[in-house]
A and B are shown apart, each in its own frame.
Chain A
């Protein structure tokens, strides 16, 4: 059974710091992996989607990498800002499913001014 884990559960950093959020999954048979941002009381905003054949994706200050064989993905945030404060969730789509995403429980990030 596929399980997705995100460590740490919470992270507090000073503004300007570069940081890495981690996502691990137990079954490497995935089709893709998606990173989301969630602000308190809001829905999820898709940040990056990495296909299983890709190693990384970049959008602005965000860079997501995928190592499928080791079951790991990282989200790198450069020059963090207070506006980056949110919960970040990763989700994998198993190879045997055309519909299902399996979510981690998220990392709650606070960027202090």
Chain B
């Protein structure tokens, strides 16, 4: 089955800790994204990567970091510098070519205790 997997599904963090969210895709997509979703709001872009070993900041990158060492993987680290990290985090990848359609993983819910 082709798709995007995210782990863990639920994550709890104490204040001051860094945590890493996993995102893996086997769709052979070049571009990958991380979004944050807060209750009743749309998605906001944190980071994106259009190719291996390259990534760019989105609209709300402060307090987050990413890496893209492999085409299939795009992990997101939520650092202690992120002031309000409790949210639902969604990873996506995008087809190339004419349609550029985005596909999403199932999400990780992060709660700071």
Interface residues of A (CB under 8 A from B): 4, 9, 31-32, 34, 36, 41-46, 49, 51, 89, 91, 93, 98-101, 103-106
Q: Chain B: interface secondary structure? A: strand
Interface segment out of the listed B12-20, B73-81, B98-106: B98-106
> Whole-angstrom distance between the alpha carbons of A93 and B90 in the complex?
18
Q: Chain A: interface secondary structure? A: strand
| Size of B's binding interface in residues, CB under 8 A | 29
Other A-B pairs beyond A43-B105, A98-B50, A100-B45, 15, CB < 8 Å: A32-B99, A32-B100, A34-B102, A41-B109, A44-B43, A44-B104, A49-B99, A89-B42, A91-B43, A93-B100, A101-B43, A103-B42, A103-B43, A103-B44, A106-B42
Q: Does B107 contact A (CB under 8 A)?
A: yes
- The answer to whether B101 and A46 have CB atoms under 8 Å apart is yes
- When the two chains form the complex, which single residue of A44, A49, A99 contacts B90, counting CB atoms closer than 8 Å? A44
> Whole-angstrom distance between the alpha carbons of A106 and B39 in the complex?
11
Known: A43-B104, A43-B105. A99 touches B40 (CB 8 A): no
A6: nearest chain-B partner, CB-CB = B42
B82 → chain A closest CB, angstroms:
20
- The answer to whether B107 and A42 have CB atoms under 8 Å apart is yes
